[in-house]
Structure 1
Amino acid sequence: MQSQVNFEELYIQLQRKVSTESHKRLDPLVSGSQAMLLRILDMSGPQKASSIAERMNITPGAVTSLADKLIACGYATRNRDSKDRRVVQLDITDQGKDILRQYKAVVRSTIEQFFAGVSDEDKQHLVRIYHQVLKNIDQQREEH
């Protein structure tokens, strides 16, 4: 029982510290949700808000709010489809690609700092564990 309590306490403590440190380092660029939206646009090209919402597991209204901020900063554009003017798609700008590159670099260096001193073997164990936890989460989501 004691080891379970320690595990839970460590998990909560780790989550808080990672979240706090990540926000400190990354928020000056863009929020995590904004970066995720930019990443989707960068990888998949122009997308409708409804498609992005589905991939991010948020509402189309939340995507619109994120997009408005990105558009105001010059990181994304909102364009009407040439074939169907009712369809509006979001796209990433060159400036958005630049900020996404910066964001990814900060994420990479942050992860390297967080895991300094952790052996490659232990990192591989973590990768296996993370995959299992993600699988568990997906299974629970499907059941509910």
Structure 2
Amino acid sequence: MSPREPHIERFERSFFTLFRKLGPELGLPEHISLTGPQTMMLYTLRTMGPCPGGKLAQKMEVTPSAITVMIDRLVQQGFVERTHDGHDRRVVMLSITDQGMDVLQQLRVIRDEALKQYLAYVEPDELELFLAIFEKIVKKIEE
């Protein structure tokens, strides 16, 4: 095996440790009956506002048929509702319900507490630099 660049090895080791330790704390508590992808769908709907399923699928980078299955479950749980577009009744609009907003708020409280605990180890100027670099990497990934 060829030697690795030290910064890549450090990043990988830190990345895996972070997600192994922090992942369970940021995961979904047992009383919330959502999967990770369903949670991301709710976050996306909250951000986008009411939208057609095809647009949601495109934003989440999945097929429209995959969105349909996930949305069916979220509708059954009362987290998402389907309505017809006022201008074109063939278009079905998806939107997050108040119940969906409530579950996202519960998750926000849980996750904020966990993240606050770990980010407290970093000085404010270091935190700003870390976040700027992290956001730069994410922006390139999304392009």
- TM-score interval for Structure 1 and Structure 2 normalised by the shorter chain: 0.7 to 0.9
**Map 1:1-144 → 2, pairs under 5 A:** 1-2=5-6, 4-23=8-27, 25-26=28-29, 28-29=31-32, 30-139=34-143
> Residue 85 of structure 2 aligns to which amino acid in structure 1?
D
TM-score under structure 2 length normalisation? 0.80
1:142 — aligned with what?
none
Instruction: Give the root-mean-square deviation of aligned CA atoms.
Output: 2.2
Gaps of 5+ in 1: 140-144
Count of aligned positions: 138
**Matches of 2:45 and 2:9 in 1, distance apart?**
41
Gaps of 5+ in 2: none
Whether contact under 8 Å (2:52, 2:93) holds in the other structure is yes
Look up the SS of the partner of 1:118 in the other structure: coil
> Residue 62 of structure 2 aligns to which amino acid in structure 1?
I
TM-score under structure 1 length normalisation? 0.79
CA deviation profile, 1:65-91 (whole Å, cap 9, x unmatched) = 221121111111112223322211111
Out of 82-91 and 120-129, give the one that drifted further.
82-91
Look up the SS of the partner of 2:89 in the other structure: coil
Percent identity for Structure 1 against Structure 2: 32
CA 1:108 to 1:68, structure 2 compared with 1: closer, same or farther past 3 Å?
same
Look up the SS of the partner of 1:91 in the other structure: strand
